[in-house]
Structure 1
Amino acid sequence: MSKRVFLFIILGFVVISCRDNLSNKTLPELINPNDTPSIIGFNYLPSNTTGAVYRKNTYVLSYSEVHEQAEWVAYVLKASDIKEMDYKRPYFEIDSDILTGAADWRNFKKSGYNKGHLCPAGDRRGSYKDFKETFLTSNVTPQHYDFNAGIWNRLEQKVRYWAKKQDSLYVVTGGVLTNNLEVIGFENVAVPKYFYKVLLSKNHSKMIGFLLPHKESKEPLYNYIVPVDSIEEMTGIDFFPELEDALEKKLESSKTYDNWDF
């Protein structure tokens, strides 16, 4: 065997190995390790437009490199995740798992925007490890302080209230990422004009979607309920595609909140 042929063979093995490693790292894990036994087996992840889906310990995200943030973060919120624990607030860290490079936290300095959590730290108080994992830059988005500390915080608290009453909820949340958005920082982190949350009950009997303009608001949360279909149209994302088609159509076309306790 010639030296040239030998080198080509070795190079081929290296390329295949690298490709497989990258593929394995970006493939989503369909079962959350913290799912309760009654909901194991249901793939709650939405579709994605990025091809870059990453599994963390307690949530899954789809990272949009163009916008330098997640297009969605999905997780199961259980009553046991919500505890009155006074954890020390950690520093934000760059998510080293993102193959294309997650946004640097320094993009937010002097930008006038908060690092708004997508999976809130308050949803991950089951342990300090879970809590700390929400302080990755792949899990944040630029938000105005009055929005982040105002109506967005009210919605997060309401979601926790429902999770406690119902034991578990499937949660998908993110900013509506489109072209020509305002950007901040040296990496051009996009600033969404709207943010959404889509919730599904553990027994799949009810679903609710919220679409919030990125601005301060004192209005009641139910004013921002929209059919999940409309969020899908804006984002190009299919939420809870594993539901039976007729049920998915029924739940996603509704904007009623009679069966949600406000």
Structure 2
Amino acid sequence: MSAIQAAIFVAGTLVGGGLTAAIVKSVALPVDKTSVSPAVSFVTPPVVGLGTNGHAELSSLASLSSSAVLKYGNPGPIADPIVRRAYVAAYDRRLRHPAWTAEHLTLASLGKSALVASPDESGDRTKSAFKEDESIPAPFRARLADYFRSGYDRGHMVPAADAKFSQEAMDETFFLSNMAPQVGDGFNRHYWAYLEDWCRRLTGTFSDVYVFTVPLYLPHKDPDGKWRITHEVIGSPPNVSVPTHFAKVVLTSKPTSPATPNILELAAGAFVLPNAPIPDETPLEKFVMPVEAVERVAGLALFSDAVKSTSKHICQSTKCEVIVRRFDDARKRPEMRRAISAPK
């Protein structure tokens, strides 16, 4: 059993048996309907289900209700809902990074469709700059100074390359509310970028690609035999938590045949990567985990029971193989110069 598999197992992601690369059956977590004050909003996990037209749909992001218990004040919310042009997300106030991000990728959204005219204006990352998200309350906000000389990259959870359809959409991916600290060399600038590229390339095979990015905190076994979760916190004073792992969870759909465009073939899969340098030659399938494992350890319900029961594994529907693109280094050098400059 690999270290990642052992960590997820200990975190209670699966009951009985060991981890396998296959998808296991599980009951989706129910949506919390607990009553809270009207002043408190909470974000329900982004459940993907099947709509009446047979297409995958995201559930409602937030709900509000009331309770007299919180008449004179309330402590929440823990997560702030974020709705942007290219993605939706939930920002974790405790950890100062997203709890999850969700995207819907298509050839059209990436500007690669021959049937849809490209927009007059497209996003240029050299015109974008990292910035603090003023929609997040100041006490819970990630700051530029937190990353300064931290040793970590400001890692996009939603890649800028997924939002090329407009400059505004791309600019929104540079909010720090879309960032989490990532090891740079060997991960954010390399293997993680290869995985992001693989997600985009799925649009060449599937009509719709849903991508969820989830920072994770997995336990490790200490010399005393006990399992603990420990992680670094960057900033002065310490402010932004550094995830131990990151997950990419994908759901794809395409018509089963041209004659039946409304009958969809679904495929899903999850990949859990350590926040550490990963050799280029490492097979992507090494990081395959059950979707349910990610859901359990993250406390999310990503897909409905109907989706889970009808989905193939993504590696059965397409090749799970990254393409090493070292030329990304040259493209990201201006970004890295900005990353090591003093915050304003």
Could you tell me the TM-score, scaled by structure 2's length? 0.59
Length, aligned pairs only: 230
Work out whether 1:198 is the aligned partner of 2:218.
no
User: SS state of the match for residue 155, structure 1?
Assistant: helix
**Among 145, 169, 173, which residue is 2:209 paired with?**
169
Measured at CA, do residues 101 and 204 of structure 1 come closer, stay the same or move farther in structure 2, by a change above 3 Å?
A: farther
Between 1 and 2, higher relative CO (CA 8 Å, sep ≥ 6) is seen in 2
- TM-score normalised by structure 1 residue count: 0.76
Aligned partner of 1:230 in structure 2 is: 293
Does residue 81 in structure 1 map to residue 129 in structure 2? no
Matched, 1:145 2:184: yes
- Structure ranking higher in helix proportion: 1
Shift of 1:246: 4.8
CA–CA distance in 2 between the matches of 1:237 and 1:50?
14
2:302 alignment partner, one of 217, 224, 239:
239
Question: Helix, strand or coil for the counterpart of 1:62?
Answer: strand
Of residues 225-234 and 120-129 in structure 1, the stretch that sits farther from structure 2 once superposed is 225-234
Q: Which whole-Å CA distance do the structure 2 matches of 1:140 and 1:235 have between them?
A: 17
Shift of 1:234: 1.8
Q: Which residue of structure 2 lines up, in the alignment, with residue 115 of structure 1?
A: 154
Change (3 A) 1:51 1:92: closer
In structure 1, list runs of 5 or more residues that go unmatched.
1-18, 31-36
- 2:141 is equivalent to residue 125 of structure 1: no
Task: Tell me the secondary structure at the aligned position of residue 80 of structure 1.
Answer: coil
Which residue is equivalent to 1:154?
194
Select which of 170, 180, 185 maps to 2:230: 180
Contact 1:227 1:255 in 2 (8 A): no
- Say whether residues 1:221 and 2:279 are aligned partners: no
- The runs of 5 or more residues in structure 2 that have no matched partner are 1-36, 47-52, 63-76, 113-121, 219-228, 254-263, 321-344
Identity %: 27
Equivalent position of 2:119 in the other structure: none
Alignment CA distance shift 1:222-1:166 (3 Å): same
Inter-CA distance 205–45: structure 2 relative to 1 (3 Å threshold): farther
Contact 2:123 2:169 in 1 (8 A): no
RMSD: 3.1
Cα shift at 1:53: 2.1
2:315 to 252, 257, 261: 257
